[in-house]
Structure 1
Amino acid sequence: MSDQNTPTLLDELDKRILQQLQSDASLSNQALAERVHASAPTCLRRVKRLIDEGVIARQVAILSPEKIGLGLTAIVEITLDNQASEQLVAFEKWVGQEPAVQQCYRVSPGPDFVLVIQVADMAAYHVLAHRLFAGQANVRNVRSFFSILRSKFETRLAV
């Protein structure tokens, strides 16, 4: 396995494989090989290498939040009182344990963190925000934005 921060060199076949898998990770190896114009054994070896090198981090099903009763998306800015390294890591660990927190970014400049949270409704957000932020002595400021329309949601990266 290579270093996480070192980019992996990708040739054109790797890129075609990644483009296909980002659109549909459930493709059989044979179907993938046909779509990228390679033999099945070659395709299997390439996918295994891409997994081993961490290029493919994981393969998942992407759910429709509305269909499972999680129709409210909140984008939340958090500013801490104390930005010491151990305080930042502690906060990341704290919110990282919460399933409703879909994404957590440490950012600069501005707030210390930006979170993307998916919950059922405003009442569920209020309960979550109170539990995650109000009880934390190190949280200075919470600024929440609520999505009224998701015009784009993409998981694919340009390769």
Structure 2
Amino acid sequence: MIRSATPDDVPEIHAMVRELAEYEKALPEARATVDQLREALFGERPAAFAHMAVDDEDGSPLGFALWFLNFSTWRGVHGIYLEDLYVRPARRGGGHGKALLTELARICVERGYERLEWSVLNWNEPSIAFYRSLGARPQDEWTVYRLTDEALTTLGATKEGSR
């Protein structure tokens, strides 16, 4: 079963974020706290949204999708950027990841959004094969760039940026 996340789900979402970071060999980079996630998802001005895959019988969390709106200047409408899609290893292969993506695609269609986008690590062949099986295609002509930590702080402190 897929449902919208609730504030009570935040500790489990946090735990799964950490599980995902460990799988992606980046656990030290996963510094978000439960409180930060709660604020982002359910604060006064939510910046992100989440859906849960839960067991039909006991409601236990099996996976989650955390996403936010983006905007295409070329299409003139919003889209969804999927930040994280995760299904616990013991429950993979049961259709939960597809069900989560199906729900996000449904939201896009219902709201007139024209894109559902996400990133995947180049070495994550099982996920790449899964996404391709759904009809998703890589955007090979684009390279993601990111500023974080010292580089972000340095650029943000530059006087030229305040004009």
- In the superposition, the TM-score normalised over structure 2's length comes to 0.29
Give the TM-score normalised by structure 1. Answer: 0.30
Structure with larger Rg:
1
